[in-house]
């Protein structure tokens, strides 16, 4: 066998994976290893594959991903903390033929924005909600989130979340799956190649559901927050598998 040089492989015709063109040129502002970057990519890849970049309007939250609009090369609004589903409702109702999605963290979606989330789901708005659950408030420096696990330490639960006084972690995905307005509800993760591929399929489906007027798709992504958890990215993904996924079970909760 003749020796194959790298230059022979690295040629445009042999390309099998490259960054989607729907990323802007700006480097992501996220910490090393942060799952936000993967989820951004999957959403943009789905939009690109469906060819709907000129028909899509996104809504970014308040949280680490507040700057999602800097990185996603689509028309996009930045919502007040927790209100993304209300903005998305407002947009979708006046542009029913556009693809409208929200991108929200767990503080945004499951604490301050609980009412907007539940009611958008309950009305069955024909939108996609992408919910990044990292069990903590990343942007503000690692405070307890509604999703923080029992016993899990954060800067506002330094001795661990005491469920007796601080309440229980909120399983928003189970909650909205119970509402008649939701159509497709699933929980995914993005820390292994296989899981990323599955999550991508769900995200694609969420957009396709909009096209077919099927109603609300709600996709939770259990993700990491290396900075907030104070672990290396590799460690935090391990911790995620061992702890987060025990409480937040992956899978499709509803697909009608």
Ligand X SMILES: Cc1ncc(C[n+]2csc(CCOP(=O)(O)OP(=O)(O)O)c2C)c(N)n1
Task: Indicate which of ligand X, other proteins, ligand SF4, none lies near residue 125 (CB less than 5 to 8 Å, by partner kind).
Answer: none
Nearest alpha carbon to residue 237 among 28, 43, 33:
33
Dihedral sign computed on CA atoms, order 196, 113, 173, 256? negative
Closer to ligand X by CB, 126 or 148: give it: 148
Window 206-245: contact mask with ligand SF4 (x via CB under 6 A) = -------------------xxxx-----------------
Segment interacting with other proteins (CB under 8 A) among 87-95, 129-137, 140-148, 248-256: 87-95
Question: Which residues, numbered 60-79, are part of the site for ligand SF4 (CB under 6 A)?
Answer: 64
Task: Indicate which of ligand X, ligand SF4, other proteins, none lies near residue 209 (CB less than 5 to 8 Å, by partner kind).
Answer: none
Q: Cβ of residue 179: shortest distance to other proteins, in angstroms?
A: 13
Task: Please count the other Cβ atoms lying within 10 Å of the Cβ belonging to residue 27.
Answer: 10
Pair 84, 132: CB distance under 8 Å: no
| Strand 251-255 relative to strand 182-189, pairing | antiparallel
Using CB under 6 A as the binding rule, whether residue 189 contacts ligand SF4 is answered as no
Neighbour-count burial of 101, counting CB atoms closer than 10 A to its CB (0-12 exposed, 13-18 middle, 19+ buried): buried
Pair 187, 173: CB distance under 8 Å: yes
Using CB under 6 A as the binding rule, whether residue 34 contacts ligand SF4 is answered as yes
Task: Please count the other Cβ atoms lying within 10 Å of the Cβ belonging to residue 251.
Answer: 9
Using CB under 8 A as the binding rule, whether residue 103 contacts other proteins is answered as no
Nearest alpha carbon to residue 216 among 102, 132, 134, 90:
102
Using CB under 8 A as the binding rule, whether residue 37 contacts other proteins is answered as yes
Closer to ligand X by CB, 108 or 125: give it: 108
Under the rule (CB under 6 A), what is the footprint of ligand X?
A: 62-65, 81, 105-108, 134, 136-140, 145, 225
């Amino acid at each position: 066998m003749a020796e194959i040089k790298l230059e022979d492989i690295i040629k445009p015709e042999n390309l099998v994976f490259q960054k989607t063109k729907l990323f802007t040129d700006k480097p992501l502002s996220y910490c090393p290893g942060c799952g936000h970057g993967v989820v951004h990519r999957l959403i943009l890849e789905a939009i690109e594959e469906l060819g709907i970049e000129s028909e899509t309007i996104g809504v970014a939250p308040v949280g680490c991903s507040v700057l999602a609009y800097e990185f996603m090369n689509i028309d996009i609004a930045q919502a007040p903390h927790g209100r993304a589903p209300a903005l998305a409702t407002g947009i979708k109702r006046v542009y029913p033929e556009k693809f409208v999605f929200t991108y929200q963290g767990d503080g945004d979606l499951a604490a301050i924005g609980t009412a907007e989330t539940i009611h958008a789901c309950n009305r069955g708005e024909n939108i996609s909600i992408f919910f990044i659950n990292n069990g903590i408030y990343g942007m503000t420096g690692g405070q307890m989130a509604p999703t923080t696990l029992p016993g899990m330490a954060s800067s506002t639960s330094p001795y661990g979340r005491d469920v007796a006084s601080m309440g229980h972690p909120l399983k928003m995905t189970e909650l909205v799956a119970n509402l008649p307005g939701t159509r497709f509800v699933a929980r995914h993760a993005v820390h292994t190649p296989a899981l990323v591929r599955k999550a991508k399929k769900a995200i694609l489906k969420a957009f396709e559901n909009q096209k077919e007027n099927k109603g609300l798709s709600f996709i939770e992504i259990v993700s990491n927050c290396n900075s907030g958890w104070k672990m290396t990215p590799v460690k935090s993904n391990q911790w995620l598998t061992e702890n987060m996924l025990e409480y937040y079970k992956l899978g499709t909760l509803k697909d009608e």
